[in-house]
Structure 1
Amino acid sequence: MPVRRAAHAGSWYTDSGPELSRQLDYWLNQADLSHGPARAIIAPHAGYQYCGACGGHAYRQVSPVVVRRVFILGPSHHVRLSGCALSSAQKYRTPLYDLHVDLQVNADLEMTGQFEWMDLDTDENEHSIEMHLPYIAKVMENYKNQFTIVPILVGSLSPEKEACYGRILSSYLADPQNLFVISSDFCHWGQRFRYTYYDRSYGNIYQSIEGLDRAGMNIIENLNPTEFTNYLKKYGNTICGRHPIGILLQAIQELLRNDSTTSANLKFLKYAQSSQCRNMNDSSVSYASAALVFE
């Protein structure tokens, strides 16, 4: 049975199960349950010292008593993909307990002809999915043998490809027993990221970054995939999970087209920056957490 190790434990987050459990408990308890039960969340994937607290606001909206399957869509940072890839592992290690991959859903998705497979090395080098696994394990700990995960690595997609994957995944999003986790950090600003957009009308650089991020967050809340694509083209904002977000927006639109009785409400609950940029030599990464509910 192929098992994916917790490759970033001990560096990006603690490899001590008891310590990790305490940290996650603390961050979840610091957040309010204000927009749930979530059918999808957007949450960051940096080291927990930077974004763990922000992520808690998204995971606080999850109702573990309902969830039986978790789809995790993470952007590929190291391997160039023109589509999406499924995990070849059957089990994912975390310092808390192991998570099991839903082999039936993987088989069904493979049948669409739209998915490739990522090998174990690619999977273990990538952090965008792994950084969500401890949070998933924590919120689901009372149901640890009663749910599965579907990790999906998302490549650099055209808007047409995002719409294609949105159509495929919309039927899964329609099922209240499925939770979608969209892995994304927001603006990566600074010379080292080759992105230094600065609108001085906002004041300091960090205020300009926040203004730029919030403009994108507002469009995402409006659930408009075309507007989000146009925003990215206009500003080039370095949102690393833009394609997973695009797939989610397309899946929501497909679901709403097929069910006129349902309405969707996506809301951002927390925004943070790794540091406050004040001059052109500074750098920062932004983090945002959101939850989607259906009414």
Structure 2
Amino acid sequence: MTRPAAVAGTFYPADPVELATLIDAMLDAAPPAQTPATAASADAPVAYVVPHAGYQYSGPTAAHVYRDLRDRPAPFERAVVLGPAHHVPLRGAAVSSATAWASPLGEIAIDTDGVQLLADRGLAVVDDRPHAPEHSIEVQVPLLLRVQLPKLLPVLIGPGDPEAVAALLDAVAGPGTVVLCSTDLSHYLTEEEARRRDAATAAAIDDLAPERIGTGDACGRHGLRGLLVWGRRHALRVDRLALATSADTGGPRDRVVGYPAMRLSSTRS
């Protein structure tokens, strides 16, 4: 079964040429990370926090993450993407039964072995209902394909114990795998309020402090808290690649959404 794209033509262009051109332009415009992802050994854990709004608004911020991935001489083979469920109520974690997800740039293969492992261990349920309308993971798919990352393990995360998310990541992270936590930050504050709140959230991520991520700080806070527990467990360090808002890309200044681009890895200069 192939999951059809739900938000092509709204969150990102549906035309493949337009979409590829847009992504390449965003990646080329993003500066190389001052501390390249190649600094970490090939077997060391690497994860990113990346936004998931429409490309018009959050694309330039997300491009910092994908430029980092594109610049790696040894590309990853699989992405584990954690995202929130905006439309269907969910507790715990849900994976997809599909064998591929469609996009205007072609299909991305789903890591069905990873899906089965998580289900068998009771770390996630197989449930397509929250995945069907959801954009938080889907918007990452064209970007993943454009940086030659061919396989996806999509995991939607609802309210639950951050330790359970960390255990899930321990089960599937490893050599050849990158973890992406798909989340925006504050929503619909004034620009001044958003920058102040997002700065505090970014500082919590810097410090691997999940207890400082509160309701309203990030729409993907449940996955983010679990990622930070996992990062702390593995003594990862955080590099801040970008921190922006929708106002930076033409959105209204009285209803702002915050966008993070951050890397967690075992090495930092």
Short-chain TM bin: 0.7 to 0.9
CA distance in 1, matches of 2:171, 2:73: 20
* 1:36-75 → structure 2 map (5 Å cutoff): 36-37=36-37, 39-62=46-69, 63=72, 65-75=74-84
Question: Root-mean-square deviation (CA), in Å?
Answer: 1.9
1:170 touches 1:255 (CA, 8 Å); kept in 2? Answer: no
* 1:273-288 → structure 2 map (5 Å cutoff): 273-275=245-247, 282-288=254-260
Provide closer, same or farther for how the CA distance between residues 287 and 75 of structure 1 changes in structure 2, counting only shifts above 3 A: same
Return the TM-score normalized by structure 2: 0.88
Are 2:127 and 1:155 equivalent residues in the alignment? no
Task: Give the drift of 1:219.
Answer: 1.1
CA distance in 1, matches of 2:36, 2:237: 10
Return the TM-score normalized by structure 1: 0.81
Q: Which residue of 2 aligns with 1:243?
A: 222
Q: Which residue of 2 aligns with 1:210?
A: 195
Aligned partner (choices 93, 107, 119) of residue 102 of structure 2: 93
Task: Kindly provide the amino acid, as one letter, of the partner of residue 169 in structure 1.
Answer: L
CA distance in 2, matches of 1:64, 1:170: 25
Q: Which residue of 2 aligns with 1:261?
A: none
CA distance in 2, matches of 1:124, 1:50: 23
Are 2:171 and 1:168 equivalent residues in the alignment? no
Name structure 2 gaps, 5 residues minimum. Answer: 39-45
Task: Give the drift of 1:254.
Answer: 2.6
Q: In the TM superposition, what whole-angstrom CA distance separates every residue of 1:231-282 from its partner, at most 9, and x where no partner exists?
A: x1xxx434101111111111122334xxxxxxx221222122223766xxx3
CA distance in 2, matches of 1:156, 1:64: 37
Q: Which residue of 1 aligns with 2:209?
A: 224
Secondary structure of the 1:151 match is strand
CA distance in 2, matches of 1:47, 1:225: 26
Task: Give the drift of 1:22.
Answer: 0.9
CA distance in 2, matches of 1:253, 1:293: 11
CA distance in 2, matches of 1:36, 1:293: 10
Task: Give the drift of 1:139.
Answer: 0.7
CA distance in 1, matches of 2:63, 2:27: 5
2:240 touches 2:262 (CA, 8 Å); kept in 1? Answer: yes
2:244 touches 2:259 (CA, 8 Å); kept in 1? Answer: yes
Q: Which residue of 2 aligns with 1:193?
A: none
Task: Give the drift of 1:172.
Answer: 3.4
CA distance in 2, matches of 1:255, 1:172: 14
Secondary structure of the 1:214 match is helix
Are 2:132 and 1:124 equivalent residues in the alignment? yes
Task: Give the drift of 1:171.
Answer: 4.8
Provide closer, same or farther for how the CA distance between residues 132 and 44 of structure 1 changes in structure 2, counting only shifts above 3 A: same
Count of residue correspondences: 254
- Between Structure 1 and Structure 2, which shows a larger proportion of helix residues? 1
Task: Give the drift of 1:208.
Answer: 2.6
1:170 touches 1:254 (CA, 8 Å); kept in 2? Answer: no
1:73 touches 1:182 (CA, 8 Å); kept in 2? Answer: yes
CA distance in 2, matches of 1:114, 1:53: 33
Provide closer, same or farther for how the CA distance between residues 253 and 172 of structure 1 changes in structure 2, counting only shifts above 3 A: farther
**Larger Rg over CA atoms:** 1
* 1:263-278 → structure 2 map (5 Å cutoff): 264-275=236-247
Q: Which residue of 1 aligns with 2:26?
A: 27
Percentage identity across aligned positions? Answer: 30
Task: Give the drift of 1:207.
Answer: 2.0
Task: Give the drift of 1:113.
Answer: 1.2
CA distance in 1, matches of 2:195, 2:28: 26
CA distance in 1, matches of 2:166, 2:151: 21
CA distance in 1, matches of 2:75, 2:143: 16
Are 2:35 and 1:7 equivalent residues in the alignment? no
1:86 touches 1:118 (CA, 8 Å); kept in 2? Answer: yes
Secondary structure of the 2:131 match is helix
Name structure 1 gaps, 5 residues minimum. Answer: 191-204, 257-263
